[in-house]
Amino acid sequence: MTLDYEVLRLIWWALMAALLVGFAVMDGFDLGIAAQLPLVARTDTERRIAINSIGPVWDGNQVWLITAGGASFAAFPLVYAAAFSGFYFAMLLVLVALILRPVGFDFRNKISDPRWRATWDWALFVSGFVPSLVFGVAIGNLLVGVPFEYTDELRIVYHGGFFGLLNPFALLCGLTSLAMLLMHGAAFLVLKSDGTVRERARTVLSWSAVALVALFTVGGFWAAYGLDGFSIASVVNPSGPSNPLAKTVVRETGAWMVNYGAHPWTIAAPVLGYLGAVLALVFNRSRAEGLTFVATAVAVLGIIATAGLSLFPFIMPSSVSPDSSLTLWDATSSRGTLLTMTIVTAVFLPIVAGYTAWVYRKLRGKVTEAYVRQNTDTAY
Amino acid sequence: MELDPVLLSRIQFGLTAMYHFLFVPLTLGLSFILAIMESVYVMTGREIWRDMTKFWGKLFAINFAMGVATGITMEFQFGTNWAYFSHYVGDIFGVPLAIEGLMAFFLESTFVGLMIFGWDRLTRRQHLTVTWLVALGSNLSALWILIANGWMQNPVGAVFNPETMRMEVTDIFAVIFNPVAQAKFVHTVSAGYVTGAMFVLSISAFYLLRRRHLPFAKRSLAVAASFGLASALSVVVLGDESGYLTTEHQKMKLASMEAMWETEPAPASFTLFGIPDVAKRETDYAVRIPYMLGLIATRSVDQPVMGINDLVKRAETRVRSGLIAYRGLQTLRKDRDNTTARAQLADNQENLGYALLLRQFLDDPLQATQADIHRAAQLTIPPVTALFWTFRIMVGLGFFFIALFAFAFYVSATQRFERYRWFLRLALYALPLPWLAAELGWYTAEGGRQPWAIEGILPTHIAASSVSGGMVLASLIGFIIFYSVLAVVDAFLMVRYARMGPDDALKKSVTAPEDALSAATPTTEA
């Protein structure tokens, strides 16, 4: 098989999905734990148990997001430009939250004054809650369509404000994403803690898994029967130049379900989403902590893949000028850049996975009350 | 008043980038100093070196958190505020950013947690390796970012594609081995090492002045003095100017830094001091050192250095050529198979960006008059007076650092700390200077790049997103407030921990003061 432009575009669609799933699985539990901090940890010691469960790893995990951002810049520059400028205030909101996180983790333990710590607890909660919600809202808006169009110089013009992003379907997706990451975060916390914190995390896990199944189901029916999906009406040249104005796009209800009929194997994605959530409930009940975490990770994979496969080949459809919609056939970088990026990723991603595994192995074991009490100055 | 989103986006990017660079150089320098200290610990087995690593590591961690936090802002802003830039050059510019994530940032961030929390979980050698990997990761990170930045200064290995209306890679190795990027990398990381060394030097001097933690402070000062001396020599000798003759606009930057209006015959002299008069195009009261500029800029005595006036004339020629390319492109967009238009574009495409300069004041560049072309060429002059001074202050500081670290080396080698207390005071008050030099250096490099976002290819004016001025003003005000609060908190913690000193900061307390804390505040949950 030769790596022609079409194949490279497909590879990069899959790699972007993999990087986003990597982010949601690896950093998702950090976000989820920060977002459930008020629920699972009430005293300072309990908070420190929860925070230290991710203390040494959140920083490396966050690089999944940064790399996904950099990779979309390199592989899908049109999507990068359209999504970041179109979601201007939403992106800046996420940014503020992501800035609060490192400083929250690092500054909180430096002073023992209760007001100081309570302030950073709030900051940490915001740093987990806001991105968990906003990333889902953003995905929801992709399915609804985003109000942008291209001039013939390929300059993006955007016709909507921040509050336009808060439409009902997108908010539903935001809640789905929040439930998903709360569940996933709880699974990690159960694995890494004991005592009261673990018991509370078990409860959060059960409720969020149930909520996730319900929200995912509602979202699925809504996308199938309530949303006008998009489909390409003209002939597509999968190896053509990346110019989004070269095609014609129509909108019709049910278009987001077409892929599941045409390629039945894609149904595996929503099935994994459900299966992961249900198994998480079962394993949580039987106290199989490792398996619970694997199950929530599978749910995360299945749910993100469901969104991606429903949209395929669209990435960022336009509601006001459907022909301006970005698809994987007309929003990528050049063939040369995709090839370079493929080689780089093939070399470095396994290396990253290798040393990440080593670091987690070195850090295995539970964060206990005794540990945080003995390390008041060295741990967070 | 109409709010200009481009100007506001520039202010926002400039401020957030300079803010980010308050933390980056310390990370670059201090990570190596930690690795050196820990290496001594592993080789000698003496506990004081471990405590040194841990204490400076604590300050490193506070700074690192801010560096990570503010770095994300930079990546986001290319998309939020510079969408046309992202579209136009993402094919090239995105690659080093993505590689930075995969190759460097993962390395640095994955191991930094283990470096801070892993002392009891690793063998000595394992922990030492982890510390070195953090230092390696942060420096590799700088390499890839500067490859991206170097491409903005000297855009090699790419060509304009009229089908996609953007630049596309033709030679990725030319992008990676861009001589401008390599020069920038060496210069920038050296500046980071100087910053790290100054940080350790100043705080150690503070302890020596207070006669506290003497064995700790003396050893730390010795490391800072030797590492700092080597770095200060490197930052001055391996300056950034070596890349300044590679392209037309880099020449313009150099000429503007020198306020050199007319071309100087070889070997050019260096203006040590003067008052640039931009209106009259003269530099008053100039004090010149013969040969010096020729040596700095061309590394030779037989090549002339071009002056601003001649470079503007050449820019005018390039605008004219660019207009031919622009006309060809417009024709081509309506009629893909027009071979004449394609040839016009191909023959003049390296000047297409110069035609886009006209867009700053003309909606249709093809209507440009003689006067418009002249005006566009004038736009290629960066802010001369500002560059002249920022460059000179930076270079002056560079020489000061060499002298300071050399003397610190002498004081440390002879152990005459009590005799040279004035020097310890000087070393303490010199603390902010490497940051000042670094910020001035960035202003010289990036202010000198104006009016271009990508030199010769994409004017800053059209690189911005189509967002409204009001939106950018709102986010800019938000950044200023948010960043100011964080700066105050960060400075407060840094000063607090530095004053506390190694004994208190590293105390292994088991008295758990948080019991009282949690009893006092049972309902603080969010």
Compute the nearest-CA separation of A287 from chain B (Å). 27
Is A54 part of a structural domain of the chain? yes
Choice among A346-355, B40-49, B302-311, B358-367 with the minimum mean pLDDT: B302-311
Task: Report the pLDDT averaged over residues B34-45.
Answer: 95
Q: Which of A 226-285 lie inside 8 A of B, CB atoms?
A: 241-243
CB contact under 8 A, B91 and A107: no
CB contact under 8 A, A73 and B90: yes
B287 - beta bridge partners?
Answer: B273
B289 - beta bridge partners?
Answer: B270
Q: Which of B 457-476 lie inside 8 A of A, CB atoms?
A: 465-467, 471, 475
| Residue B223 banded pLDDT, cuts 50, 70, 90 | very high
Residues of chain A contacting residue B520, judged by C-beta atoms under 8 Å apart: 114
Contact A320, B75 (CB under 8 A): no
Q: Which of B63, B81, B87 to mutate to test the interface with A (most CBs of A within 10 A)?
A: B87
CB contact under 8 A, B117 and A376: no
Q: What is the pLDDT of residues A17-66, one digit of tens each?
A: 999 999 999 999 999 999 999 999 999 999 999 999 998 899 899 999 99
Task: Report the pLDDT averaged over residues B466-481.
Answer: 92
DSSP state of A366: -
Is A256 part of a structural domain of the chain? yes
Choice among A101-115, B99-113, B291-305 with the minimum mean pLDDT: B291-305
**Any chain B CB within 8 A of the CB of A206?**
no
Q: Which two three-digit tokens encode residue A31?
A: 């976000």
CB contact under 8 A, A70 and B526: no
Q: Which two three-digit tokens encode residue A139?
A: 């995905």
| Residue B513 banded pLDDT, cuts 50, 70, 90 | very low
Residues of chain B contacting residue A83, judged by C-beta atoms under 8 Å apart: 79
DSSP state of A49: H
Number of compact structural domains in chain A: 1
Residues of chain A contacting residue B123, judged by C-beta atoms under 8 Å apart: none
pLDDT score at B243: 61
CB contact under 8 A, A102 and B65: yes
Residues of chain A contacting residue B66, judged by C-beta atoms under 8 Å apart: 102-103
Contact A148, A159 (CB under 8 A): yes
Distance CA A321, CA A96 (A): 31
Predicted-complex ipTM score = 0.91
Angle at B388 between CA B382 and CA B392, to 5 degrees: 145
Long-range contacts of A368-375 (CB under 8 A, 24+ apart): A368/A49, A368/A193, A368/A194, A368/A195, A369/A45, A369/A49, A369/A194, A369/A195, A371/A52, A372/A45, A372/A48, A372/A49, A372/A52, A373/A45, A373/B510, A373/B512, A373/B514, A374/B510
In angstroms, the Cα distances linking A27 to A250, B240, B379 are: 36, 38, 46
**Any chain B CB within 8 A of the CB of A102?**
yes
Of B334, B272, B326, B263, the closest CA to residue B298 belongs to B263
Residue B283, helix vs strand vs coil: strand
The upper half-sphere exposure of residue B36, i.e. CA atoms within 13 Å in the direction of its Cβ, equals: 20
Facing A63 at nearest CB: one of B109, B497, B515:
B109
This prediction has a pTM of: 0.91
Burial of A236 (0-12, 13-18, 19+ CB in 10 A): middle
CA dihedral of residues B193, B251, B8, B146 (deg, nearest 10): -30
Beta strand ranges found along chain A (DSSP E): 148-150, 156-158, 228-232, 249-253, 314-316, 326-327
Task: Report the pLDDT averaged over residues A339-345.
Answer: 95
Residue B362 has pLDDT above 70, yes or no: yes
Length of chain B: 526
Of B118, B124, B135, the closest CA to residue B45 belongs to B124
Residue B241 has pLDDT above 70, yes or no: no
Instruction: At A193, give phi and psi (nearest 5°).
Output: -130, 175
Q: Which of B6, B31, B70, B109 to mutate to test the interface with A (most CBs of A within 10 A)?
A: B109
Residue B515 has pLDDT above 60, yes or no: no
CB atoms within 10 A of CB B278: 16
Domain coordinates of chain B in residue numbers? 21-244+385-502
Q: Which domain holds residue A150?
A: 5-374
Instruction: At B501, give phi and psi (nearest 5°).
Output: 80, 170
Residue A270 has pLDDT above 70, yes or no: yes
Contact B383, B450 (CB under 8 A): yes
Choice among A122-126, A269-273, B306-310, B399-403 with the minimum mean pLDDT: B306-310
Facing A359 at nearest CB: one of B97, B110, B513:
B110
**Residue entry with tokens 């996975």:** A353
Residue B521 has pLDDT above 50, yes or no: no
Q: Which of A 320-339 lie inside 8 A of B, CB atoms?
A: 333-334, 336-337
Facing A60 at nearest CB: one of B94, B110, B493:
B110
CB contact under 8 A, B90 and A105: no
pLDDT score at B510: 36
Give the containing element (helix H, strand E) for A292.
Answer: helix A289-311
Compute the nearest-CA separation of A229 from chain B (Å). 26
Contact A103, B66 (CB under 8 A): yes
Compute the nearest-CA separation of A125 from chain B (Å). 7
**Any chain A CB within 8 A of the CB of B119?**
yes
**Any chain B CB within 8 A of the CB of A149?**
no
pLDDT above 70 coverage of chain A, percent? 99
Instruction: At B275, give phi and psi (nearest 5°).
Output: -120, 105
Distance CA A276, CA A25 (A): 13
Of B477, B526, B479, B488, the closest CA to residue A126 belongs to B526
Of B195, B181, B201, B186, the closest CA to residue B437 belongs to B195
Facing A37 at nearest CB: one of B118, B478, B526:
B526
Q: Which two three-digit tokens encode residue B447?
A: 């202010």
Long-range contacts of B117-120 (CB under 8 A, 24+ apart): B117/A55, B117/A56, B117/A363, B117/A378, B117/A379, B118/A56, B118/A362, B118/A363, B119/A378, B119/B54
CB atoms within 10 A of CB B307: 20
Buried b (16+ CB within 10 A) or exposed e, B363-385: eebeebeeebbebbbebbbbebe
| Residue A109 banded pLDDT, cuts 50, 70, 90 | confident
Q: What is the mean pLDDT of chain B?
A: 89
CB contact under 8 A, B101 and A66: yes
pLDDT score at B374: 92
Residue A276 has pLDDT above 90, yes or no: yes
Q: Beta strands A156-158 and A228-232: pairing type?
A: unpaired
Distance CA A201, CA A184 (A): 10
Instruction: At B415, give phi and psi (nearest 5°).
Output: 60, 30
